Amino acid sequence: EDQVTQSPEALRLQEGESSSLNCSYTVSGLRGLFWYRQDPGKGPEFLFTLYSAGEEKEKERLKATLTKKESFLHITAPKPEDSATYLCAVQAGDSWGKLQFGAGTQVVVTP
């Protein structure tokens, strides 16, 4: 059975204090790994898609990396506006169109 585990569950950072979020997965043939950001009361907002081990993608202060068993979302010099829940999702090779989400990491960045 496909599984996605995110850690930590919650993370409190000072502004400018860089950190990483982890998404470990077990799937039968990865088609893609997706990162989303979700603000309170809103739907998930797409950030990145990674398809193969070794791939990296960046957007502003965020950088996502992928290995064969896990993905990391690095937040460099975060600002308060980076506060959100970050969700990781995988799509398995035999699950056309279906995303399996982790429970998310809630990030709070204080000034």
Partner 1 sequence: EAGVVQSPRYKIIEKKQPVAFWCNPISGHNTLYWYLQNLGQGPELLIRYENEEAVDDSQLPKDRFSAERLKGVDSTLKIQPAELGDSAVYLCASSLDGGSDTQYFGPGTRLTVL
Closest CB 88 distance from partner 1, rounded Å:
8
Report cis status (omega within 30 of 0) of the bond before 8. Answer: yes
Closest CB 86 distance from partner 1, rounded Å:
11
> Whose Cβ is closer to partner 1: residue 76's or residue 106's?
106
Q: How far apart are CA 100 and CA 111, in angstroms?
A: 34
> Whose Cβ is closer to partner 1: residue 75's or residue 89's?
89
> Whose Cβ is closer to partner 1: residue 16's or residue 29's?
29
Strands 105-110 and 10-14: parallel
Which residue shows structure tokens 């979700």? 38
Could you list the residues that contact partner 1 (CB under 8 A)? 4, 31-32, 34, 36, 41-46, 49, 51, 87, 89, 91, 96-99, 101-104
* C-alpha count within 13 angstroms, C-beta hemisphere, residue 22: 8
Closest CB 95 distance from partner 1, rounded Å:
9
Q: Which residues pair with 32 in a beta bridge?
A: 91
Closest CB 93 distance from partner 1, rounded Å:
10
> Whose Cβ is closer to partner 1: residue 42's or residue 68's?
42
Residues 6+ apart with CB under 8 A from 60: none
